Structure 1
Amino acid sequence: MPATVTLDPLGVHCIFSDGSEYRRRLRVRRPVELPGLARTLLEGATDLVHPHGQVDSAGGFDLYLTAVRGFTDWLVEFGFSGGASDLTRALLARYWRQGVRSSQESALRAMLRCADDQEQILAPDVRAFVDGRLFNTGERYGSHQPYSEAEWARLIRTCRDEVDGAFRAFCAAREQASSADGPGASLRERAAHHWLVLNNGPDPLVREMAERGSFPFRQRYGVGLRAVLDPLIPTLDVIIAYQLLFGAYKHRGRAGRDRGPGARRHRVGG
């Protein structure tokens, strides 16, 4: 076996695929007061070691020891004195809801699953709970709290400023392009570029420029071709602002209200 549980002291002995040997005892704040549960979790952890699982290094296994220590220490302080078969959904949820790191939560779930696969020790509803989604999926960003009304208002205002400005630029470019003399207009005129994009999309403009010879956009406008087309084709920033704005409206139940010109859609050729 590549990994086994040692009993005196309680810990693990692993041999990884590179031949390295790993021995660790389970270090806790006090003498192990839940030896049965701790042993069950460690037996589940050993089943995660290569080639049965993906754990194949000392650093990888240390995470599981940390998860066992944290869980058993918390259970003792909580007053729990049973084994794995005595765990309940409510108890696990209470532990995970206190802000356990997602990596440790994942490790604990994996150990419980493996132990249950071996001995069928968990109640069916507890096993289903262990197989469910993580409680803590974003500890790197801190705890997640709902936006306040003031924060929603700032988000909506920022997105509205972005999309309203983009929509005004789109309307201005479309109006200027309507006066262009179609394909016959000089390609040195920005309105002619917009006319081509509005009527044929951006590809014909690029092909037309190639046929007539490249035109130095930066000398004419101080910007590149992408910036010439930006008023007509939303940039990534504008797209994200629309998505956030629509999501904010949906969240606040405002999908049908407060829809000024910025809530309209950029549309090429209409």
Structure 2
Amino acid sequence: MALGTSDCPELARDLLLGLVDLIYPHGTLRSWGSVEKFVIAVRPMTKALGNAGFTGGAGQLTRSVLAEYWLGADAQRESETRRMLESRDAGTSGLRPEVRQIVTGRRHFHRPKSQPFTPYSETEWDRLIRACRTLADSSLASYRAALAAAAEGADLPLGCHWPPSPNDLRRFLSQHDPLARDQVGRLLGQSSKTTRTRFGLPEARAELFPTPEVVIAYQLLFGAYTGIVPDGIDGLGLGDIDWAGDSTVLLDYVKGRTAKESVNLPKRAIGLLERWLEHSALLRSFCPPSARERLWVRHRPSAGVVAETMRISDISVRAWIRRYELLDDNGQLMAIHRQRIRTTYHVRRDRRAWYGSSRATIDPNHSPQVEGDRYLTVGTAAQRQAVEAIIEDAQADLLRRAQPPVVLADDDITAVIRDLPQASARLGLDDDAGRWRARRVHGRLRRPAHGPARSGRQAVPGPAVGLPALSARGVLSAARGEPAATQGVLRAAVETSAG
């Protein structure tokens, strides 16, 4: 990687040498994304110190110069440059004693405690997925049309001085490397400007070879379909794909902070993978052997190479959002966090696919508390309301089952019906209401709502056939006014018949 800075070259060299000792197996940095963050941290430090007049290396740093920079930097930049200086000093002992003391001492800033990502709302998720699908589908359709046009074109002799047709140009590109514009112009015997304006070379190249923008759409869709961690998606290769039949794919990926893991791809992720392999087949045929085995190959004309395989930076993703004008619910540009896509995937995933395991493991490296906090309790307002309603129903069901059953025999039922008129008179009901209530209670006790009549001596759930059996209209209203008398209506009748 080229650092791309001329400020404080000696300091930049010492920082990068310290970074080398932090990379595995010498250190703990295992992923390219982590190394890239440290390299990015070198630029602002060398630029700031260079503007302040510093020109030396790490051994010439003073306590005041270093403290002044760290006080003006954020917690991440301080942590990364501190680790590189400490690593360099461990191998050379080149720092001054007072500088070594501040490097190994207490940090000026502490990183705030991170909060779990909240899932995207339904409308934001739909807009994101729709934009990615539209771009992926349209680019694949253009690729197929360009291949069909190339098959109809004619071969171009090298050094020709006449403008080729669109079909001939696409045939020429499909047979040669996707070189830069001036190189293709030399092969066609034309200048770079003429190639750009008359032949339509950029359009033909974008149709035949996937660009970084197209790869971003495919990667975001793949993460939304599988829930794989972002660094695992970035590091995928063709050797990680195990085709176990026509409709089953086992994918191996490396999680940056743990180890190698595997996942069975869902059906729509398999379809997306097949379309991407088709879309990148032509570009992959021109790649060198080291890049040919990487999954996410793309061509950037300004890079000067056939294909790029490194991780797509967050800056490119933000530029992609601006170009396609993806907005959130507040009308602002949507913030795309690839980790947040993983969180949304797990929140939306159907819980019935967990197959009743003892603990539905989203991530085997998480404790149940962390997993619950990050994936099970984070949801939309409608989802939280639905979960609360389920909990309330379950609690009510447990309370109902905990109440003792009311056991009634046929003789007890007869006694209840016989003494019901006296109970109705004591409650202030007229004779017609009492007789109607007796017939209604007798029918409910003799025959359930669904099923044959009860015979013999059997247990009936208390709330269903006990006192709430008299819960309609006037009986319930009177019973609510006299709870003690109501409680004795059935018991007194049962005890009288039993005596």
User: TM-score, structure 1 length as denominator?
Assistant: 0.42
The TM-score with structure 2 as length reference comes to: 0.25
Of the two structures, which has the highest relative contact order with CA contacts closer than 8 Å and spacing of 6 or more?
1
